[in-house]
Amino acid sequence: MPEDISLEGPQRRLTTPEAPEHTAPAACAPEPSGAEPEDNGQGWLLRILLGWHASFALMGVVLELLLWTDGAPWFAHLVLYGLAASYMTLGAPALSGTKPPRSGHLFLATAYAGILLLTAVDDRSPVALYLILPTTFALLSPIRRAVGSCAGLTLLCDALYFDHHSFSAKAVGETAVQNATTWLFALLVGFFVTQLLTENRRRGELIRQLEESRALLTSAYHDAGVMAERHRLAQEIHDTVCQGLTSTLMLVRAADAAAFSDPDRVRERLALAQKTVSENLAEVRAVVTATGPLHLRSTPLDTAIENITARLGDELGIEAEAHITGRTLPLDATLQVVLLRCAQEALANVRKHAQADRVRVELSYHPKSVLLEITDDGRGFDTQQVQGFGLQGMRSRAEQVNGAVSVVSRSGEGTRVTVEVAWEH
């Protein structure tokens, strides 16, 4: 994963590797302070439900006026107030989905009993069926239960209406007209409200699933970030601490081998070991504080490549040369780090495995790419069988900047490592 490396100023830092491009959706981020909260598309539903509640309130007022006009007894008013309380505590929450369906069923039972009682007292009370029947369709499922309940309530109200009026053609006609208009209204509005509430439940389920997926995605990105950071630290430690310790160990062994025969060489090897340990300690501090490679902190890439090549020659006592060709380009920090780390890893492999007498490092600048090539005349190896952590790390780093690493080697014929990265102005 790409590393965002800044080398400017005392606050330089190496940020945590980024997540893949298909990062968590913007909805995962917290809303900025002062932002208007989203209603998840439910504003239209709230407005319709508020209108429905207002219709019940208006129907309650109409029934109260009818009861007062007709001189209904006091208990009829009490029944009406009970129906209002039942709607507010059971019916409305069931319609909005804040209470379970059984609350709606309990409200319907209360409403049916209340409407029948009011109809027995006042023959104009069945006007409430205009709202009770659509509510039945909205709160009862399947549809056959709603139709049966509405039909039963309508027939009972008709029977009570005929109790107030003689069973005549006029009464039958008035009842038929009232039933037709009530059922037409109930079917149309009931279907609409049913679809509305079904859509609301579906949206609620989708929102719940989205929140669960968002939580899982956030956790997955966190885990991926942790693993990427561990991989980055492993690469940094391998490219700094491990290589420095290997170099120091070889210098100490060389000094020990010449302890009695060549004191000057001992002092030279120990001085190089001391310098290597000091630089390695600084590299460790750079990794811990994430300030970028030590070699790039005060020198350009070209000079850093030349320095680490010359150091290898001094340590091993072999011919090591670095060449810079082409017009030097202003590479960004990420490219510089990748090229430097790849060069360090290739030279570390020469130090540990190649047993070479000559090493050549060439950094070539081209119009649209930069080519780093490390060649040695050592013993070589079988590239099909040897795939160590170092080579894998080189390829991983190059892929971060859309680059590629190729290794050409044969036993006894040396090794050539090529790193090519593209760049744009």
CA distance 237 to 66: 87
CA distance 82 to 85: 5
pLDDT reading at 82 higher than 80: yes
Write down the CATH number for the domain with range 294-425.
Answer: 3.30.565.10
Mean per-residue pLDDT, 41-46: 62
pLDDT reading at 362 higher than 90: yes
Structure confidence at residue 283 (pLDDT)? 67
Structure confidence at residue 387 (pLDDT)? 66
Q: What is the mean pLDDT of the chain?
A: 75
Alpha helices in 11-128 (DSSP H): 43-69, 74-86, 92-96, 101-121
Q: Are the C-beta atoms of 277 and 244 separated by less than 8 Å?
A: yes
Mean per-residue pLDDT, 81-96: 84
Q: What three-state secondary structure class fits 326? A: coil
pLDDT tier at 90 (50, 70, 90 boundaries)?
Answer: confident
Nearest-5° Cα angle at 28, 26 to 32: 75
Task: Report the share of the chain in percent with pLDDT over 90.
Answer: 6
| Closest C-alpha to 401, from 344, 333, 302 | 333
pLDDT reading at 26 higher than 90: no
Residue 324: phi, psi to the nearest 5?
A: -115, 120
Integer angstrom CA distances of residue 49 from 83, 95, 97, 196, 197: 18, 8, 11, 10, 10
Structure confidence at residue 294 (pLDDT)? 55
Report the predicted TM-score, pTM, of the whole model to 2 decimal places.
0.41
CA distance 301 to 364: 12
Integer angstrom CA distances of residue 408 from 22, 311, 375, 415: 35, 24, 9, 6
| 320-352 pLDDT per residue, tens | 999 999 888 778 888 888 888 888 888 888 888
Residue 373: phi, psi to the nearest 5?
A: -130, 125
More confident residue, 29 or 360: 360
Q: What three-state secondary structure class fits 146? A: helix
Q: Which of 27-36, 109-118, 378-387 has the lowest mean pLDDT?
A: 27-36
Show me where the domains of the chain are located. 44-212, 294-425
Mean per-residue pLDDT, 251-258: 74
Structure confidence at residue 12 (pLDDT)? 35
Structure confidence at residue 239 (pLDDT)? 65
More confident residue, 223 or 1: 223
| 278-323 pLDDT per residue, tens | 776 766 666 655 555 655 656 788 888 888 898 888 878 889 999 9
CA distance 318 to 325: 23
Tokens of 130: 């205009």
Structure confidence at residue 417 (pLDDT)? 92
CA distance 41 to 196: 13
Radius of gyration of the chain (CA): 42
More confident residue, 130 or 29: 130
Structure confidence at residue 308 (pLDDT)? 86
More confident residue, 143 or 165: 143
Task: Report the share of the chain in percent with pLDDT over 70.
Answer: 72
- What is the secondary structure of 129-146 as a DSSP string? HHHHHHHHHHHS-SHHHH
CA distance 149 to 391: 77
Q: Are the C-beta atoms of 71 and 124 separated by less than 8 Å?
A: no
pLDDT reading at 76 higher than 70: yes
